[in-house]
Amino acid sequence: MLLQNFLEESAHRFTDKVALIHKGDRWTYQEIDQGANRVAQLLRHQGVRRGDRVAIFLDNSVESVVSLFGILKADAVFLMLSPTLKANKLSYILNDCQVKVLFTHINKLGVVSEAQGSVQSLKNIVFVGKKDRIPRMDTPGTISWSEIDFLNPQSLRARGLSEPEAATRIPQSNIDLDLATIIYTSGSTGNPKGVMLTHLNMISAATSITAYLENVPEDIIIDVLPLSFDYGLYQILMTFKFGGTVVLEQSFAYPYEIIKQMVKERITGFPGVPTLFAILLQMEDLKKYDLSSLRYITNTAASLPVEHIQRIRETFPQAKLYSMYGLTECKRVSYLPPEELDHRPGSVGKGMPNEEVWIVDGNGNRMGPGVVGELVVRGSNVMRGYWGDPDATERVLKPGPLSGEKVLYTGDLFRMDEEGFLYFVGRKDDMIKTRGERVSPKEVENAVYGLEGVLETAVIPVPDEILGQAIKAIIIPKNGFSLTEKEVLRHCKKELEEFAIPKYIEFRDSLPKTSSGKIDKLTLKQEIGIK
């Protein structure tokens, strides 16, 4: 079984059912499937071979969805990149896994032009958007998305292709052990790492999740999360698996728009993150909107403050709230059955179906209840490893109970209660968890050092009710330089993604040092009263 079978089987069972709604437009399963077939043909024609990497650098859109399935159908590996990536990180990722083709939008031309020059492997760039703005280039060659236009039977006929011919499936040779995607996530060295996920990994995760959420074809899901985030991506994959409908939004900047959509489309499932729930709960009177269709709400990425859990349950009393925990390296780990929210609202539950979890001490010995230790995950949802980084892979994938198998050491500290329910305690290493994203302090420090006038800087986490942890940068300016907060922020915005930009900036004359001369972050953290 391959991931694209989710789409193909639903296109067979629910041919004319609306699969995706975006910006008011509706697309059926058949339309998405045929569009994906056209993308696969184009890729094959451009020389994309089995196992090649093809990246998507778009805002949430129907083109993102059609492309990802098209790439899978061409036996290639898709990369859903964050649309907010800056040129430096974009070029790093494209080079790291030698991307051959890039799907992007003409309004990202600035960033793409800057990044692509240093990417030798890139053969083609497909641009969505105004055709006349697409630059003419030889290497990489540029192609307009309109050439894959699957909505327009007339244009197909004009190019001498009859519809059935144009939209046929090409032969595929992948098996479920082959890679479906690489998801880049922040690394402690400052450079992102590519999490390799096979078809089997993703199918296994999707199957477990749709089981505990009890999804049915009648479910209508609203997806306001970026597709570059596995949580947002899986809403599409899972919906196509169970044959439901997904309403895809570009952002949750406008909460009222989200509520309007939820009412209009009679949304049954609402996945969110703490920042989104905090924004929604600020609205005056949510109860006046008819959200009676809502049957479940999910939260992951960071824990919800207990008062927010209560307020969400009060505001949407008919909906079940699922608190969940996971990491990109295995998609999801646990969920709390909604009935347990009354007794243990601070827990993220137990392992999901078809998976085992346990807690270990520093020597890898399994611990019982009440003790804090590192969480280990065993299951077919556990990644293949980090692309091109066997050392980093070896640090997290360690031998499991059966000969030859690997289990995932999450790097997250947990404790378990007497009944086996899990409680997140903190990160084992120094990574910061903010807005549900892992941020490497080193990455932020590297960015700050790039600003003229910075002598030394230390980046530390600060507890934050909504973000989980907020980022603080303490800076010693060079002699003769007077830096302002605004200057530092402007510089950071150029180099870092939004969630990695420091919330607090402090200027000091000196920083505490350890005996070996390194900056003493422990003391800095203790000043704020955190471990």
Partner 1 sequence: MNIENEIRKFIEENFILEGDDHLGDEDSLLEKGIIDSTGVLELVAFLEETYLFKIKDEELVPDNLDSIQKISQFVQNKLNVSCENVSRTEARG
- Interface contacts to partner 1, rule CB under 8 A: 59, 83-84, 107, 110, 250-257, 275-276, 279, 283-285, 486, 490, 493-494, 498
Tell me if the bond preceding 140 is cis, omega within 30° of 0: yes
- Angle at 513 (CA atoms; ends 511, 517), nearest 5 degrees: 125
Which residue's CB is nearer to partner 1, number 128 or number 359? 128
What are all long-range contacts of 253-258, with beta carbons under 8 Å and residues at least 24 apart?
255/279, 255/280, 255/282, 255/283, 256/283, 258/222, 258/224
Which residue's CB is nearer to partner 1, number 150 or number 229? 229
Which residue's CB is nearer to partner 1, number 54 or number 496? 496
The conformation of residue 503, written as its DSSP 8-state character, comes to S
DSSP collapsed to 3 states, 284-311: CCHHHCCCCCCCEEEECCCCCCHHHHHH
Q: How far is the CB of 255 from partner 1 (least distance, A)?
A: 7
Q: Please enumerate in sequence order all residues whose Cβ is within 8 A of that of 131, keeping only pairs 6 or more positions apart, or say none.
A: 144, 146
DSSP collapsed to 3 states, 428-452: CCCCEEECCEEECHHHHHHHHHCCC
What are all long-range contacts of 409-412, with beta carbons under 8 Å and residues at least 24 apart?
409/360, 409/374, 409/376, 410/327, 410/329, 410/330, 410/333, 410/374, 410/375, 410/376, 410/377, 411/374, 412/327, 412/374, 412/375
CA–CA distances in Å: residue 517 to residues 5, 440, 472: 56, 21, 21
Q: How far is the CB of 451 from partner 1 (least distance, A)?
A: 13
Which residue's CB is nearer to partner 1, number 273 or number 336? 273
Q: How far is the CB of 53 from partner 1 (least distance, A)?
A: 24
Which residue's CB is nearer to partner 1, number 95 or number 261? 261
The answer to whether 461 touches 296, Cβ cutoff 8 Å, is: no
Which residue's CB is nearer to partner 1, number 25 or number 527? 25
d(CA 80, CA 83): 9
Q: How far is the CB of 470 from partner 1 (least distance, A)?
A: 12
Q: How far is the CB of 256 from partner 1 (least distance, A)?
A: 5
Which residue's CB is nearer to partner 1, number 133 or number 513? 133
Which residue's CB is nearer to partner 1, number 20 or number 224? 224
d(CA 32, CA 42): 15
d(CA 231, CA 199): 17
Amino acid residing at 279:
I
Which residue's CB is nearer to partner 1, number 111 or number 200? 111
Q: Which two tokens stand for residue 234?
A: 């899986």
